[in-house]
Amino acid sequence: MTTQNRGQFSSRLGFVLAAAGAAVGLGNIWGFPTQAAQHGGGAFLLVYLILVFALAYPVLVAELLIGRHGQANSVRSLMALGQKKLAVFTGLAGIFTVCLILSFYAIVAGWLLSYLLGAGLRLGGLDAAAKWSEHFGFVRNTLFTLVFMAMTAFVVSRGVSQGLENWSKRLMPMLFALLLALIGFMLTREGAAEGLARYLTPDLSALGDPALLLSATGQAFFSLGLGVGAMMVYGSYLKADSNLPKLALSVTLVDTSVAFLAGLLILPAMYAAQNLGVQIHGSDGNLVSSSTLVFDLLPALFAKLGALGPWVALAFFLLMGIAAITSSINILELPVSFVAEETRLSRAQATWLIGAGVSLLALAILWQFDRLFGLVISVSTQYLQPFVGLLLCVFTGWVWHRHRCLEALAEGSSTLATSGVLRFWRWYVKWVCPLLIAALLAQSFR
């Protein structure tokens, strides 16, 4: 194992923006709003907010705590708690899972880059080139997947302060500015008010629907990037006197704010599109979501906006691209930190090696797209991610010695050290969080 300098976040703001950027992914923007609309609007929002702080926040604190305590990659940090064989299995399972996630994430992010380029080409009057950039095909998909992976690897290779933190400080303010500007524009479109009402008006009868609870639980857990140990690595770059509960709260609030604001953009945009004759419901009667929303419905809306269309498209796909890159650098950091610390490779060498491996996996998925794309998404996010998240809760609540765990959490907060909050948090992570995650996992097998 190497003893190279691991680096640290230079400021509280830098960590919050980096961790929030990691949590703010594509699911927040294209998944959360339509889930809310389909499960009772404001009722879903209420349940989601409760579960963010009842499930996601305690688990986020746990992941950050394990990382800060271990001051090492995810495998070493877990080994420091005990049960070394289980620690190695859990850590490597998390690394394997994020490599699978990044392989399909890079493909989707590549599509976003291609549409971003297409919008720019249309502004330059190059419509034929724009059509190629927006046309689904193996060559286009391969090119932009590799471009996105190269961008991600470049940032990660720069290290913690100059890479993860520095770029997050640049990109996150841009994300908020673009999001607010697009919200302001969309709310002025005819039909937007109907989408806003669909999003915010609570259907209290939906509160008794088990589908709402499961959907909100999954969204709350996955929206913070939990369950694979990626946040654990970010925690390992924190100073020993960092107030983890406060930092985790800041990250949770930023992530939740982006998800809420995304609803103010996406639902009004969808109903504005419907007002212009665009079909916004799928064959099952539900609102379209995910890739259909981003690559079919919204481009159809932009095409009907006249001269403003390419500018709005440019801003939207830039927003999505920023959300993708801030998440992907966190995903890649997990395996890179392990390889860099467990081998003689430098951080840069480890980054480009892992990046190349994930790129090859992504190309294999593209080669057998119909067979592998959906399968990889399902295996990694529905089964492996909650399974590893369950194991991480087991480590915090059952493997880590109670006194040492509470002592570690109290570092950086003198008020916590004398309160009963610590004991309640550990009990909660030990019993309640595993049950909630187990319910998610069980739902995946139904």
Domain holding 179: CATH number? 1.10.4160
Burial environment of residue 137 by CB neighbours within 10 A (0 to 12, 13 to 18, 19 or more): exposed
Q: Which residues lie below 8 Å from residue 210, measured CB to CB, with a gap of 6+?
A: none
Amino acid letter, 285: G
Which ranges of 224-308 does DSSP label H, i.e. alpha helix? 230-236, 244-275, 290-292, 298-303
Domain count, the chain: 1
Q: Which residues lie below 8 Å from residue 115, measured CB to CB, with a gap of 6+?
A: 133, 134, 295, 299, 313, 317
- Lowest-pLDDT range of 12-16, 324-328, 396-400, 423-427: 423-427
Q: Is 50 exceeded by the pLDDT of residue 422?
A: yes
Give the Å distances, CA to CA, from 317 to 93, 148, 431: 32, 14, 41
Q: Is residue 3 part of a domain?
A: no
Beta-bridge partner residues of 281: 287
Whole-number pLDDT of residue 195: 92
Reading phi first (left if > 0) and then psi (alpha if -120 to 50, else beta), residue 225 is in: left
Whole-number pLDDT of residue 256: 93
First to last CA, the chain: 43
| Contact in structure between 376 and 107 (CB atoms under 8 Å) | no
Q: Is residue 405 part of a domain?
A: yes
Whole-number pLDDT of residue 3: 44
Q: Is residue 284 part of a domain?
A: yes
Beta-bridge partner residues of 212: none
Give the Å distances, CA to CA, from 135 to 91, 117, 131, 318, 362: 39, 12, 6, 18, 19
Q: Could you read off the pLDDT of 396-420 as tens digits, one per residue?
A: 999 998 888 888 888 877 666 556 7
Q: Provide the b/e sequence for 40-74 (b: ≥16 CB within 10 Å).
A: bbbbbbebbeebbebbbbbbbbbbbbbbbbbbbbb
CA–CA distance, 134 with 125 (Å, rounded to integer): 15
Position with higher pLDDT, 258 vs 410:
258
Name the token pair of 353: 């090696």
Residue 287, helix vs strand vs coil: strand
Whole-number pLDDT of residue 2: 46
For residue 386, the enclosing domain spans: 12-444
Q: Is residue 49 part of a domain?
A: yes
The closest of 47, 41, 27 to 210, measured between CA atoms, is 47
Q: Is residue 287 part of a domain?
A: yes
Which ranges of 276-419 does DSSP label H, i.e. alpha helix? 290-292, 298-303, 309-342, 347-367, 369-377, 385-394, 402-410, 414-417
For residues 64-69, average pLDDT: 95
Q: Is residue 154 part of a domain?
A: yes
Q: Which residues lie below 8 Å from residue 37, measured CB to CB, with a gap of 6+?
A: 195, 198, 199, 267, 287
Q: Is residue 1 part of a domain?
A: no
Q: Is residue 4 part of a domain?
A: no
Whole-number pLDDT of residue 283: 78
**Positive/negative CA dihedral, 372, 378, 380, 381:** positive
pTM of the complete model: 0.93
